[in-house]
Structures are given as structure tokens and as C-alpha cells.
Amino acid sequence: MQRDGTATVGDGMGSGALGTGAAAGLWSAVRSGAEREWGPLARAIRTGTRGRGLAAMPLTVCATFAILAFQVWQQSASGAAAVEQLGVVRASLPPGVALSRTPLSLFVPAPDLPVWGAALQVFLVFGIAELTLGRVRTLAIAYAATLAGTMYARVGIAMGPDRFFGLSYNAEFARDTGPSVAVVALGVCIAWRYRARLTGAVVVAAMVAEALALPNLAGAEHLVAILTALSMSLGAELVERQTRRTTAAVNALLLVRRRI
């Protein structure tokens, strides 16, 4: 009886050790996967801040406050009319008018949606992009995606709802504002730059699912943002690669000439 009891206790201790080992192995695998996915990005963010906090993200702070200011401004009748003239884009507008309003349209949130959502998106994604991609590149990607979405709306409406990637004719009068297109594009560019493949795949899959579930102007423009971001990321990478090759070739040529 004593031997049986000892064996039972030993078996329990062995099972506990086995369970602890499995949990430790799982935790180690999760940590390793997280390091591969987000480690380079996290280190780039720490390097970008350099202990300066919000002072390292002036573009992000200004963009966030602009969204909040436009939201407050458009709550009154006179403010709504002014915001409409300054930053509201519709496909029904003449192209010149739409293009002149595009820069501010990025910061005009939808009046019927919670403004904190748009502000939080901008603060997080613009902030990460500004710290890791740089201020100029962040602004270029944001406006390129926004402009691409504005131009696509006209093409999609002209194609009509019966053609692939076409839009309903009602989209001509839909309000085309807000930061979501820029946020999607920046998210894809960040994932590409730091090889966060799973994160990038999740963003793309979510936007495709949204476009299929809600076939409207916003969903289609998010897909345009993804294509714009991929094109800019690939183009920038090819340019950087060619620049490195050219620089190496020039340095090698200069070295040979010095030896001669």
C-alpha cells in the first residue's frame, strides 16, 4: 500500500513537471514569435523617441488636434458650412475643387461617428509611422493614399456597380473625408518596412473582409490605400537597393583608381 501511494505521488509530480515544461515551451514560442514579428519595430520606436516623448511626434500631435478641432467646429451650423467649403470632398465636385480640399479632408472626421476613434487611430498609427518611417515619408504616404482614394472614387463611379471594383452611383454624393485611408496605408507600409508579415496580413485581410461585407466607398478606398502602400513600399525598397548597389560600385571604382 505504501509503495502504491508513493507511485501515485510520483506520477502526480511527473505530470505537474510535464505541464510546467509544456507551458514554458509555449511561452517561449510566443515570445520568440512576438520578437520576430514586432521586435525590430519596437526597437525602432524606442530609438525614434529617444526619451523625448510627444516632442518626437510633432506631426502626429498636430494631426490629432486637427481632427478634434474640426470635429468641434463642424458641430455648429456656421462651422459645418465652413468645414464643408474647406475640407469636405465629394465625387460630384469639379476635380479642381476636390483636389483643393483634399489636404484638409484627411483631418475632417465623419460627424456621425465617435471622434475618439479617428483621433486614436491617427495618434497610434501616425505616431508609429513618424517615429519609424520619418516625418516626410509619413506625410507623403498619407497624402498619396488619400489622393489615390479621391481619384479612384471618380473612376469607380464611372465604371458603375456592375463592373469589378466599380461603385454605386450613389457614391457620387457621399462625403469622402477622414483619416482612415491614410491610416490603412501607413499600417501596411510599417508592416512592410519592418517585416511584420502577420500584422500586415491581418490588416489586409480585415480590409478585404470589410469591402466584401460592406461594399461602399469607404471599403473600396481602403483597398486602394493598400495597393498604394504596397506600390510605394516596393518602389522605395527597389530605389534603396539600387542606390546601395550604385554607391558600392562607385566606391569600388574610386578605390581602383586610387591604387592605380
CA angle 220, 223, 226 (to 5 degrees): 155
| pLDDT tens digits along 60-100 | 999 999 999 999 999 888 899 999 999 999 999 999 999 99
185 neighbors 227 (Cβ within 8 angstroms): no
149 neighbors 176 (Cβ within 8 angstroms): yes
Q: Phi/psi of residue 178, each to 5°?
A: 110, 165
Per-residue pLDDT, 4: 53
> The cell 517615429 sits on which residue?
131
How many whole angstroms separate alpha carbon 186 and alpha carbon 196? 13
Q: Dihedral of CA 105/107/108/109: which sign?
A: positive
How many whole angstroms separate alpha carbon 210 and alpha carbon 257? 59
Q: Is the model's pLDDT at 12 over the cut of 80?
A: no
pTM equals: 0.86
SS3 category, 29: helix
| pLDDT tens digits along 201-253 | 999 999 999 999 988 999 999 999 999 999 999 999 999 889 989 988 888 88
Q: Does the structural domain 43-259 have CATH classification 1.20.1540.10?
A: yes
What is the per-residue DSSP string for 170-196?
A: GGGGS---SSHHHHHHHHHHHHHHTT-
| Domain coordinates in residue numbering, the chain | 43-259
| pLDDT tens digits along 160-217 | 888 888 899 899 999 999 999 999 999 999 999 999 999 999 999 999 999 999 889 9
In 10 A of CB 181, how many CB atoms?
A: 29
